[in-house]
Chains A and B, each alone.
Chain A
Amino acid sequence: MTKQDRLKHAAPFADLRDLVACPVCDTLARLSSVPLGGQGRCKRCHHVLAMPRSNAMTRIVMLAVTGAILMVGAVSFPFLTIETHGLRQQASVLDTILAYSDGLMVPLSLAMAALIVVLPLMRLVAILYTVAPMALGHHPIRGATQAFRLAETLKPWAMAEVFIVGVAVALVKVGGLATLTIGPAFWAFAALVLITVVNDNLMSSLIIWKTLEARGSI
């Protein structure tokens, strides 16, 4: 369906714009009734529909930029070092990704790279692409809807925070056997996880979708 077709379909139903249906239980609700700083939940299933926050878009942009920079740091700095009986081994995030790189397990290495680094980064970039122009007061750029749909699809697959818990478990397993040094990349990664969590709590996707449509992106 072309853009024109979609516009034509949308035209007689412009008044439906303020109405949303809960993605979980299909119950109708109005987004505009949710006050700034409040939380709009579905009356029936209590799914959180909207959490409007002041300056949300500017804050999302700043957090996403910070996250992307931290990811670069997390990948390039030393991550962990162990030392025992004069033997020393340093591992970067890249080394952990390459752990599965021999023989049959190569696809798992690719999956690890995607889950830990590529998808979280792609998601941050997609969020920036969608929100940054609007935060600066412009219309959304071409492809903003596709970018934001990508960001939404990637959400469960960006597993940086799962990885950090995995690191904690691994450290305890190794801790008794050798001396451990935690490198700057670890802290960068931990900060990245924190920022992603804060960002996800700030970002109310139904509101962003509505804003995208209101600012003329179809």
Chain B
Amino acid sequence: MKDLVGIKELSRHEIEEILNTAKAFKEVLQRDIKKVPTLRGKTAINLFFEPSTRTRTSFELAEKRLSLDVLNFSVSTSSVVKGETLYDTLKTIEAYNVDYIVMRHSSSGSARFVAEHTPASVINAGDGTNEHPTQALLDAFSIIEVKGRLDGLKIAIVGDINHSRVARSNLYLLSKFDTQINFVGPPTLLPLEAPDNVKIFYDLKEGIKNADVVMLLRVQLERQKGAYIPSLKEYSHVWGVKKEAFSYLKNDTIIMHPGPMNRGVEISTEIADSSRSIILKQVTNGIATRMAVIYLLTPKEA
């Protein structure tokens, strides 16, 4: 496989291979010396057209643990608007002879576009509202770590599904396993027609009470302006997961969040800091998962 453009393009078998490899890397990361020489002499570039600290840091650490030479190339959207096309940026980067391109871009489908036009391995670190595949992979890894499996689980994803690449990648990943998926949130942020295998709930309690896993999504502050939600206060009142949820959630339900959280909006402190929350585990697992992805990809010979 040359690229990781999205979960859509992966088979269940390929997902399992990545997750198994990630497990091996997690063991490496627990050793005293956390670096492996596997990709010494190869180069990775982190090409971020949208600001991101967390994802870029996680990728950078993963790349360094694999002994890759790492370049960071941050492009503010405004300078792109002024001139260079994505194609030209890509060709410039190609001229540096890099082997791996980790890209985040505001356009859905841009990762695929780039992958089709370069011999380097492209890893999608988020393209518009389309996919964020490594997030879904690290989420799956984290769920399996706690629950031992994905098959047979009920997963509720709560929040701004329509604008979330995390929700989509998770949907595509979980749909390749025997899972039940609920989308929960205000109708303005959920798809009009439910995708296959998904149930839609406007009522938070109904949507999450039987779930084994509750994934919360960050509410973007600008949604209020677009009239998707009346106010953050109202959102938090109706769809924020607060300590009352402990009264109806199953005892072993785990709470996840891709970060960064808006404490007091989609998630309350009592939930975020509870023993049910595996949010920090997700962050740790991100590194091993991203190492596995890079390790398994093979750039095209130039």
Bound together? no
Give A residues with C-beta under 8 Å from B. Answer: none
